[in-house]
């Protein structure tokens, strides 16, 4: 990873999201924000994959299937995007479930759907 740490990478994604929201505002479909974030991160030479398949593991390590992360940044940060009126518990549960079952430690939940953008960081430490 060319960034000093995961926090620096999260800061880059967060700042880029703020810039996108400042320009585009709320009111677009989630896919517009997803495409914009991919475009702008790649312009900054940040490796990012869109709709990236991540394996879902059972507790004994058996692969049960896969889910598709909206964005997977630098092969270590899951970014889940929303364009809705408010983040609710099901959105948080979705991201935390993704982190736990894929064994990825850090995720961002970003909501572009309101007048004020919401960016929250979540950690899933191994047990």
Going residue by residue through the chain (127 aa), what tens digit of pLDDT does each one get?
A: 566 799 999 999 999 999 999 999 999 999 999 999 999 999 999 999 999 999 999 999 999 999 999 999 999 999 999 999 999 999 999 999 999 988 999 999 999 999 999 999 999 986 5
Calpha distance 73→37 (Å, rounded): 11
User: CATH number for the domain including 93?
Assistant: 3.40.1350
Token pair of 97 as six digits: 């479930």
Domain that holds residue 96: 6-115
pTM of the model: 0.93
Q: How many CA atoms lie within 13 A of 123 on its CB side?
A: 6
């759907």: which residue's tokens? 113
Token pair of 124 as six digits: 């899933």
Indicate whether 59 belongs to any domain: yes
State the pLDDT at residue 58: 93
Indicate whether 120 belongs to any domain: no
Indicate whether 69 belongs to any domain: yes
Indicate whether 1 belongs to any domain: no
Calpha distance 38→51 (Å, rounded): 11
Indicate whether 20 belongs to any domain: yes
| Total domain count, the chain | 1
């Amino acid at each position: 990873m060319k960034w000093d740490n995961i926090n620096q990478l999260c800061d880059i994604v967060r700042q880029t999201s703020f810039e996108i929201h400042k320009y585009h505002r709320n009111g677009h479909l989630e896919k517009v924000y997803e495409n914009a974030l991919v475009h702008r991160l790649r312009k900054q030479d940040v490796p990012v994959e869109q709709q990236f398949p991540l394996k879902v593991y059972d507790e004994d390590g058996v692969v049960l299937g896969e889910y598709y992360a909206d964005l997977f940044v630098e092969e270590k940060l899951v970014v889940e995007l929303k364009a809705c009126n408010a983040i609710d518990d099901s959105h948080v549960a979705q991201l935390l479930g993704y982190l736990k079952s894929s064994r990825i430690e850090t995720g961002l939940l970003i909501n572009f759907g309101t007048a004020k953008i919401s960016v929250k960081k979540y950690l899933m430490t191994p047990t």
